[in-house]
Structure formats: structure tokens, C-alpha cells
Structure 1
Amino acid sequence: MADEDTQNDGEALSARIEALSPRRLAALTGAFLVALAALFVFEVNEKAKQRATETEIRLTQAANDGAAALNISIMTGAPVRDTLNAVRPAGYAALYHLSPSGDIIMAAGRTDIVDVPAARIRTLDLNESGETRVDLPGGDIALAWRKLDNGDAVMVAAPARDILDRSPIWFSYAVIMGAITLVIGSLVAAFIRQSRAAAQAAHALSTLTDFNAALTGGRCSPWFYDHKDRTVHLSKSLLQPLGLSSRDRKLTLREISALVHPQDLRTAVAVISGEPSGVSEGVVRLREPGGAWARAYFRTSAEATRFTRCGVAFDLVGATTLAPGAAIAETRLRDAIESIPEAFVLWDAHGRLATWNKRFASIFRIPAKVLRAGLTLEEVVTCAGVAGDVLAAHFGPLEDKQQENQEVALPGSRWAHVSRRKTAEGGYVCVATNVTDLKRRAWAQKKKERELQRTVEDLESSRKELSEALRKYEYEKYRAEEASRSKSEFLANMSHELRTPLNAINGFSEVMQSELYGPLGDIKYKEYVGDILSSGRHLLELIDDILDMSKIEAGRLTLEPKRTELERILNESVRLVAKRASDAEVRLTTSVGHAPPVWADARAVKQVVLNLLSNALKFTPSGGEVTLTAEADLDGVTIIVADSGSGIDQAQLSKLGAPFELAENHFSRTRNGSGLGLALSRALMDMQGGILALASQPGKGTVACATFPRRQNAKVRLPQFIRAEAHVLTGKEKPEEPRFDATQAAE
């Protein structure tokens, strides 16, 4: 029945193999590749349209930027070519400065690639802004033009398909398509090869069925002795012909003693159990059910121990003599019986293949029709479908060892414990036990340990992040409290500052209205009018400062940096504060005749200079001196305002520059001020890429420096004489750690 089941299984496997059609798989694969190619063509077209749209957007933006820049250059007299090069977009683009009639005044960019004929340009309506696309011999060219304030026009041209001239879109998709085709082709080839291997396996299964039938006809059986249970395992291929059993059986030594002839009992026990040792083969008579005796040949290895004993038994019914050569041949054959659950292979003393089982062949995908006795190890490796190196290294004869045990990685993510032993005749037997489940459990345990370690590390990282978040929260809370305190102090100061001039304006206005001193022609009214004007101007300055500071904080203040004549602005600023210095009896000295132009916003420069001069005059007592000088280097110009006033200590100096902060000393409290002057100056310098710094010593005066760049994006630095002692207000980073001391917190 078992042989019939095996034969049925082989026939079912052959039917399934025949149902696998490589042609059908090839047709499906071709259809998939055609659909994928159509999808890639659609994607290529879509990305080509995106590149063309991107080109049009870049040209429109470049035309707008170029028109704005050329208008400024023409107005300021800056070189037009430099302006064209500055606004030219990236890639293969060309800019043209055109006359109202369409003549090219100047061109910049890749005119060698984007060459628009003058005759074609004259056909454009340059009185209106527009975009178009022209067909030239070298390909389509996209154009965008804008009219300038003086009637000229600026035009930007680039290849219509892609301004950046990137590699063709189809190239990358072609590479991807080729790679996919190669992979799918490899898979189809592997499938076909696997189908052929399955066909060979079906043939091998049929051959194995016939081989098992031949072994059964030969009436032989392997036997295994379990020294713990003292039992012997025999297969039905030996027991059934003798009428002893119709299935495989485990017989105890007591049952063996009942079956074996008393004269052969010592030989049988010695061969099977190894007690006494030294007997490895012999002929034993077994009792048949009818009472007759049948002869059988039992053999094991000469090196077998009491703990590891196995061998082969042959039925010798009908044989009058025992031929040793025939017995050895039968032993080699029966060692390959398929009842052995592990992969098994036996090599003779000459290193040639003696016998094997189907599990060994299936591991290395060796076709049954090519595997035969007498092959060398190299020939067997050549026949292997996979892992030939593993077969050669761990399943062949040993060179200089008696035995070897090790774990080996097999194809299909499997592991086996391979044991190799030398046989009595000088050959080698190799047995491989599957230990994949054990390895996987070990790997799973290691994976869980790594995951646990990562979890612990994540928890530690989360704890550190939480600690950092708490620290930052405390710092932000402290900053918020400081900001609230500064706002409160500012409101208190400003309430007084705004009330004082308003009281003066209202009071003097009432006196003039009531004509307390007579008709309005009296000289006193002129004095009151002057006081009203002074108070109104002071109130206007306060309000302007507040508005400017609000615009800066809201991000709505826009500067227009350009080439600015610094000497003119400095002289104007000195004239504006000269009367104030004279009234305060402070000597104002200037030396700015050599100040070169700077790249900055003229109004912002003037406001910064006036703030620095006003602060210096405000905090300089009568009889003191305020000086204004300028020092230039290759990258910037530094305006230096020095006074001989009361000076500021370091704790108060570090607080200046923040909105609504005032230096607190007796002299400053007697002066008018909102604390916004330096904050405005600091913000304006930051917006222009400049530096604002202060250096001061109590009782010796203060030096304020404002450094402006001489050209766009220039890196400026303070003069050497003040770098060591200067407190830089611009571009300073806030401290990382909160300081709860009031003086240190302000710093």
C-alpha cells in the first residue's frame, strides 16, 4: 500500500509539472511589460509638460525681476551688463536689453545657445508685456518681455522644453524599464529552470519507488540499537519475508533472545549491543513461525561503541555459503535506505560516492538521473543545483580527521548539524540533522533582547528629551516674565514721557487762549509757542519710534538698500543735532570728510546716526564733548560716536538694545527717553547686515560703533581698537541656560 501511495504521489507531481506552461507565463509577462511601458510613456509626457511649464514660470519671474533691476540701474547709473548678469536665471537663458524699436542694445547669458534673430524680435509688441514661443532651427524658444520706464524693454529667452537643459526624461525611465525587464526575465528563466528541476524530481521519485521495491526484494534492513532502552529497530523488509512481522518493529534484547538460536545468541548480542566488544559481524539463525531456522547476516562498524551502534542485516535464506564481498556490497547499499530521517551520504575508501538518500539529493537539488555510485566529490559538486561550495566543504570525505561535528547553513535559510565519521574500511559517512527550528528560536531570542535594549535606550532618550523640554520651559517662562516686566516699565516710563509734553502743550495753549499777558503780540507768547513746538516735536519723535518698533516687530518695515553717500548723510545729521548740542553746552566735533559710500538704506542710516548722536548728547553733561568720526576698511565703514558722559557699567550695558530697556542711573533719569532708540538702531543694523556695538566705562564715557557694508552681501567687522571691549548688540544669540540673577539674566 505504501508503494502504491508513493507511486500515486509521483504521478500527481508529474501532472502538476505538465500543467505549468512556460509559454503562458511568457505571455503574461509580455503583457505586463507592455502595460508598464505605456505607463512610462505617459509619465515621460507629463514630466516634459512640467518642465516646459517650469521654464515659462522662470522666464516670467526673470522678466519681472530684470525689468525692476534695469529700471533701478538706469535711474542710478549702475552698469546695465552687471545688472543683466545678476538677474539672469540659472540654466541656458539669455537676457536682452532692447530699444523701443526692437534693436538689441545689450545681451547677457547663453546667447551662444539661445540666439533669437533680430528680425524676429522686431515683430514683437514691446509696448506691452508679454510671453510667446518661437520656432527656430535649433528648437522652440520661449520668450518673455517687459517694458521699462524709459521706453526700452528687457527680454528673457530660453529653450522652451527645459531652461535647465537637464538630461532627457526618457533616459531614466528607459534604464528602469531595462532593469525591470532584466529582473522579470531572470525570474521567468528561474521559473522554467525550477519546472525542469521539478520534472527531474518527479522522475527521481519514480526511480526511488522502483529502488525501494528492489530493496524489499533483496530482503535486507538497516538496524539501530538504543542503549538506553536496550531495543533494536528492524524494518519490515527483513522481518516480513521471515514471517516475523508485517511492519517495522522495535525488539527488546529479551525478544531478540527468544528469536535467535541459542548457539548464535552470544554473536547476535555482541554485534547489536557491543557487549562483549570486538565483534562487528556474524551469521545469526532466526526462528520462523513454523519452527524452522532462517539465516541472517548482521554487521556493524568495527569502530562502533556501545552508545552508538547501527548496521545492516541481510536475509540469507537459500544461501549455502556467505561471500564476504557480496555481504560488503549489500551493506553499502542498505546504509542508504530511505528510512533514515536525516540527509545521509557514504563515501568509500577511495573518496568515491558509495550511497546516499533522497534527502541529501533534495538539499542540493541533484537530479536523480545524474547521481550514481562511483562519482568523485568534484563530480557530485558539479551536479549540484545549489550550494556546491557547502557540499564540498561539509559533506565530502575528511582529509586528515577521524570525525567532525559542526553547524552548516543550507540553501533556503535552513541550518543542519553535520556529523562526519570515518568507517571501518577507510571511507566516510556523513549525516545532517535539521536544526533550523533551534536556530530560529535562538535568533528570535536575540532579536527580542535587541528590541528590549532599544526600548530601554528609547526610554532613556525620552527621559533626556523630557528633561530638556522642562529646562526650556523654565527658560521660556523666565523670558516671558522678563518681557512682561520690561513692558510694564516701558508703559510706566511712556505714560510720563507722553504726559509731560502734552501737559505743556495744553497748558501753554490755555494761557495763549485766555490772553493772560495781554494781546497775543506779547513776546511771552512767542516763547510759549516755541515750548509748544518743542514738546510737540518730542512727542512726535516718541510716537515715530513706537510706530517704527511696531513695524519691525510685525515684520512690515521694508528697507531698500543701495549705494548711499555716507558723507552727505553724516553732515546732514550733524546739522540736525548741532542746535541741540549748542543748547546743552556740549562741544560737537566731527571728522567725516573721508567717509566712502556704503550699501544701505539712506533713511535707516540717517536714523541710526541720529539715534547715536542723540543718545550721546542726552547723556553728556554741560561742558562735555561728543565726537563723530568714520573709519573704513575693504568691506565696511564704521561710524564712531564717542562722548565724555557718565558712562554705563557692564551690568546695564548688556541690557541695552532690547526694546523698552533703559540704562538706570541718576543722570539718565533726569533725561527724556523711551528706551527705543538703541532697539530701533539694532533692528535696522540687523536688517542691513551691519554691526552695532557699545563700549563704555562708568565716569569715562561711551563709544558707539555702527558698521555698514560697502557692497552687497559684504562681511563686515568692527575696528581693531574696540573689538576686545565692545558689547555687540546685533546678531547675538540668547543664552541656552536660564539665569535667575537679575543682572546675569539681562546679559
Structure 2
Amino acid sequence: MARAGEAIASADWRTRIPGRLNRVAFAGHAKLFVHPAYARLVNTEPYVKRLIPVLIVLFVLALGGMRVIVLFEERDVIDVRARAQIGLVARALASDLLSGDRLPSMTEPSELVQGRLENLLPARATAMERSIYVLNPDGMIIAAAPDPEGVVGRQLGSIIGFGQPLTTLGQLAGVLAITLPDGEDVLAAVHHNAARTASVAVIQPYSGVFADWRRTVSREATIFVATSVVLVILGFAFHAQAARAQEADAIYAETQSRFHMALRRGHSGLWDWDLARGTLFWSPSMFEILGIVPRNRLLSVADVSELVHPEDLDLLDLANALVTAGSGTVDQEFRMRHADGHWIWVRARAEVVSDREHEPHLVGIAVDVTEQKRLQEASRMADLRLRDAVEAISEAFVLWDAGNRLVLCNSKFQELYDVPSELVRPGTPYDAIIRSGTRPEITTSTALREAGGPESVSVEARIADGRWLQISERRTKDGGFVSVGTDITALKRNESQLLENERILTATVADLRQSRQKLERQAQQLVDLAEKYALEKEKAEDANRVKSEFLANVSHELRTPLNAIIGFSDMMLSGVFGALGDRKYAEYCSDIRQSGEYLLGVISDILDMARLEAGHVELDIEAIDLEQMVGGILDENGADAEAAGVALVAEIDDRVHLFGDRKALRQVVGNLVSNAVKFTPAGGSVQVECRRRGENVFFIVEDTGIGMPAAALSKIGQPFEQVQSQMTRSHRGSGLGLAISRALVDLHGGQMRIQSAPGVGTRVTVILPRRPRIETGGIAAA
């Protein structure tokens, strides 16, 4: 294969290439190969960073030491010069002031001596804090400059100290460095005249001698500190720049690492095809995709062509096509040979760009799409299997998308709806199929909406040939819907037979109602007999036992047909064998089921009461968590309370436990809460409390209902007793709930107390021992 550069050498790449490539940004990973000096600089940079601070410190120390030496040498020169000037001034004044024909008197201070001194002073004689005194033979100061005030008339010894060699030796002592009594260091010189009738003393403090030198030292120190600070700042700047460069290298390395990691995780590889030179650069992830050990990241076109499937792509033809068509992008899928011999699918996306030298490059990525190809094939096979499965079912099946367009249907749907074959294709609108096909006649429709789920619709329809269909439609999660049509012609044929059965069942229900009324009258008669013979204990116990046995037997006999009535009414309501037809039938069945359930509940209460009175109830004692038990009861009555508009409130002490029969105590509390909710009007409240007081547990159920008069409290808790009022007449009941509750409380050795007032409410308190004792409690009215 010829080089790609030779194939496109005649093309004008500068006019065809749409963009420019920043080669530094693109070829950063190859910088160490192209610029080896950069690698050497990176290697020596740590040593340079350590050497720079040492050089700065050495330079600062050398500069400081040199300036200190120069300044101290200058100080010595200033000291010598100052001594010479003091000696010269003293000698000159002694010579000029104390010589001449008409000398003033030198024994006492006078203006003549002071004026002569001031006239003879040389220029700058008193500069730099220098003081000049004229002395008489006794050492008293008779004239002074520059300030005679407070000095004239004093002894020189009081200023420089007595016993100084200057006062006796004079000029022979020269210029001496002495310390004044006040501790100040000075230079002093004394010169006598020839007759020793007067003398001149010159005193200059060291502070004045070295004033200019100190200013020079301050200036030099300032310059030295500024120079040192600048050097330190430069050193820190170098370190900051080096640290920034190191951080930039670390960021670059981290970026490259993440970039290659992203390519590796994405099963992608970077391509850079230098079209002019015919070489390709691959990222490490590209070698990993093909399972090749990277010996050199720069590959020739021939090396890559050997890996590409010849039926999918020719690299040379691709380069020529880019030049001929003037297109700057490539997006193509092709196969490449893996290292272990199998083929993988690769999708390459690239763009032709040029670098700063205007050399053309095809730069982009290659993504391993082998798994995507496999999934596409698996999806295609799954679609074929789905179509075969839909075609194989016996019902009419059709699937619509969110836009009411056909997605999939079977031949059964086409046959039943008489849809033309040219419309049975994906994307056909729903309206077009309905207009072209045969629309069935819908007779019944039922719509069901699941909580938080899609809507389901079930309809019965009759088609033109007389057959009946049960059509069920359901919304899909994407907004479309699926429809399934089932042939129910055979079920419809049995409908007449079901209607006849329903008539017979209705007659049976009427007979059962008469039986129920008879049983209610018999129950009332039994209650009257119990009240009538209450005074005769022995006869009453016999009658009560006979009554209990009779009720138990009758109740057992009634429960069997009632279970059949409830079961058959449930079957008719659920439509197990088909719809009932007229809506009234469903209402009748619902009434039958409700009446049967109510009668069954009454019979169950009668059985419970009979078992309690006969003494056949045995307690199953166990530890009970009252918070859990009462919470369950409140949950059971919550819906009824909410429907009645009654607030249900509970206050239960923590960790209250009781030993008793769980089922019996649950029945007691449940009856009390249910009655309180039942007889509390809308807007009222029912409060349930559970407290422990010593060894007893108190259950308190208090409502804001209609209440009861005091005369009725004595009868509450007796079997079949009810308080008749305008509100209670609207609520059905056997009157056994409180009686059963009282009997169960008695079995636990507890008590039941009722407090009530009309229009105020009722408060029922149940007191139970934590460990039951078999004692007869009672029910007290307050």
C-alpha cells in the first residue's frame, strides 16, 4: 500500500481543512519524545530549587560583611580626622586669642574676651556639637562658644572631671578620649599660651563626631535590607514558579491519567493520523481494545491496514475520498482483528485538522461497539420471538404507542376487526384502522384505575357475525396501551341459565330473611324469660343453660346456610361464570352478602355469649404488649372514624405489659372503641387511654357522643340490651357487645365502669389486674 502522503500530495490542504489544531495541546503526551531537553530540565529542576536559596544566602552574607568592614574603616578615619581637627582648633585659638599687644584681662570673665573669642572662631569651629572654652590660670571658664550661658564662671574640672591630665599637661597630653561625669564619651584637648596665663579647651562628644557616620550606616543598612528583601522575594518567586510548574506537571499528569482512564473505561481509543507522513498515533487504550502490547505508539498505515477487515474499510481510499469530496469528518463502523484472532466492531469518529505547520491530521476516537452490535442482534432476535409469540396466542392482540399509532398486532386482531392488510404495519394511526375495519358494538364497560398505576378498561362487545368479545385494555408506562380481545360467546350462552339460578337464589334469600326475623323474636323471648325468672336462681340457671344450649345449636345450624349464602353472593358479584347482566342483580347480591355477614356476626355474638354463660371459655394466658395491641385496634377502626368525621386519639404509657388472653382482651377493647365511634356524631372525638396504676391496668375509652340517661346505665351490659334513642335507631346491633366484654373482663378478675350523660358523652373504664385472678368483677354505673 502506498503512503497516504503520496496519495494526497496534490491536494490543497490549506483550503480544504476546516480548522486549525493546537499542536502543543494535542501532542502534549509526545513532548518527551520530541523535546528530550525538556526531560533533562525536569530532572535537574529539584537540584536548582535547592541551590538557589543557598546562593541567595551566600550573596547576602558576603555583601553584608563587605559593607560592615568598609563602614568600620570609615569610622576609624573619621575618629582620626576629628582628633586632628580638635587639636588644630585648640592650637589656632590659643595662638590667635592669647597673643598680641593689647590683650584683655584673663583673670575674670569679660565681654571683651567673649567678643574676641567669637571674632577669632574659624568657620564651622563649633560644628558637630563641638564646644570651645577660654580658661584663666585657675582653670575657670571666662569665655565659651557657642553657648556661654551657664558655663562661664565654672571650673573646667566640673565639666570634664577634676584630676584630668589635660588641665596640667595641656597640649602635651594631645587629644584625649575621656568620659564626662555624666557618662558621655568625648574628645578633648587643652592648649596653654607661652606664659601659661590662659588656655583654650576644645570638647567634642562622640555623638557629634560620628553623627554623619551613623546616618551613613542607617542608609547603608536600609539599602542592604531592601536588597536582601528583593533577593528573598526573588527566591520565593522562583520557588513559587517552580512549585506552580511542578503542580502544573502534576495536574497535567493527573489529567492525562484520567483522560486515558476515561478512554479505557469507555472502551475508546484516540487516533491521530498524520496524513502527510503516513503515521498514526494510538493512545494506550486503543492497544488494550485490540489486546496488543504497545511496542511503539507511532504506527504506519500498513500496520493498521493489516488489522482492518478488508471488506469494511480501505484506509488509502478513505484518505483519497476526504481529499476528493472536501469533507472534514469521518463517522464509520468497521471490524478490526483482535490479538487473539477474533474480529471486533469499532466505530471511528474523526475530523481533518491542521497543525501550525499546516500539516493535515485526521484526529478522533475509535469506540469498541462490539457489545452494542451484539445487543442489537439480540434485540432483533427478541423482537422476532415476540412477534411469533403474539401471533401464536388465540386472543386478538394489538399494541399502540403514546401517539395512538400501531406498534404490533396479530392476525387474530386483523381477522376479528376486518382490517385491510395494507394498514397492518407499524406507525398506522388508530383512527385510520378504526375507519377501515369493522367496529364492534360495545354493550358494557368497566374502568379500573390502580393506585399510582395505569388505567385498565374492560368492555364486552358484539361483532358482526354474532360472536361476543371480552376486550381488556391497559395503559403502558410509556403512555401507550395494549388491547387483548377474548372470545366469550360460550359464556354468553350460559347467561340465561345463570339468570334462572339467580331467581331461585333470590327466593331462598327471602326465606332466610323470614328465618332471621323468627330467630330475632325467639332471642327476644329468651331475654324476657331470663328477666322474668331472675328471682328464682336455680330455675334461672337451668333456663339459662337450656337457652345457651339452644342458641348454640341453632347458631351452628344457621351458620352453614349463611356461609353458603355469603359464598354464592360473592361468586355472583365477582362474575366467576360471567356477568349477571342488569345492575340491579349486582345490588341485590350485595344486599344479600351484607345481610348474611351481619346475621353471621349476630350469630357469632350469640355463640360467644352462650359459651361464656355456659362456662365453656378458658383463658389462654400470655404476656401482651398493650401498645402494640391497642395500636392495631385503632388502625382497624381508623377508616370508620375517618368516614364518620370522628377524631381518634390514643394515649398509651410506655412499656405497659399485661398477662391475659390476647383474643379476649382485643375483643373487649375493640367493642368499646367500635361503639364509641358508632355513637359519636361528626366533629366529635374518641380518646383511648391505657395506664398502669400499681398492679392494675386501666383501659379508658371516652367519647363526645350522644350519651345515655342514668336510668339506662343499669341495663347496659346485659345481653340483648340497647339504649333506644334517635341516633341509636339508625345503627343495627344485637346488643351483646358490652355483655360479652363484661363477661370477658369478669373472667380476668377485672371490673367495668360506665359514666355517661345525654349530649355530653360516655366514659368506659376497664380495670384489669396485671396478673389475672379468677374473680367475678362487676359493672358499676356512675
Report the TM-score when normalising by structure 2: 0.31
Structure of greater Rg: 2
Pick 1 or 2: higher relative contact order, CA cutoff 8 A, min separation 6. 2
Report the TM-score when normalising by structure 1: 0.32
